[in-house]
Amino acid sequence: MNTAILFTTKHGTAAKCAGIIRDKAEEKIEVVNLMETQDFSVEPFDKVILGSSVYVGKIQPEMTVFCKKNKQELLTKELGLFICSGDHGEAGRGYLKLFGEELHKHAVSKKLFGDEIYWGKLNFMEKLAMRIIKKT
């Protein structure tokens, strides 16, 4: 079976997670950053994994657009979803619905991977917000 992992990321956590999935798989997996390649076709793949980080309760617009544009094709695939978020438990799992209600219901695997903070990549406002959120 052919598998593709499609992700969007702001600072790199979702990319790191996609790489870990690829490296642990027993099959060859194509990994694609949708922030660099919006016109990727899922047609030749049997399995598709969608992953994104969450900022201010939203996934990146590139993932949202991709999911809406390719929803019918994605609904014919074995689908997995993952989210990278600092919100744990029910709040974090709720973000999986950001891929769209139909895709969320169709997915055979839905995972919350947690978060990493790359302080050196954050701008001033992001650092301030993260310090308040993380209370550090």
Residue with the bigger pLDDT between 60 and 117: it is 60
List C-alpha distances in Å: 54 to 14, 27, 35, 43.
10, 28, 14, 27
Q: Which residues contact 29 (CB under 8 A, 6 or more apart)?
A: 3, 4, 5, 21, 22
Task: Flag whether the pTM goes above 0.85.
Answer: no
CATH number of 3-134: 3.40.50.360
pLDDT tens digit sequence for 67-120: 999 999 999 999 999 998 866 666 666 778 899 999 999 999 999 886 666 556
Query: Rounded CA gap, 21 and 29, in Å?
Result: 9
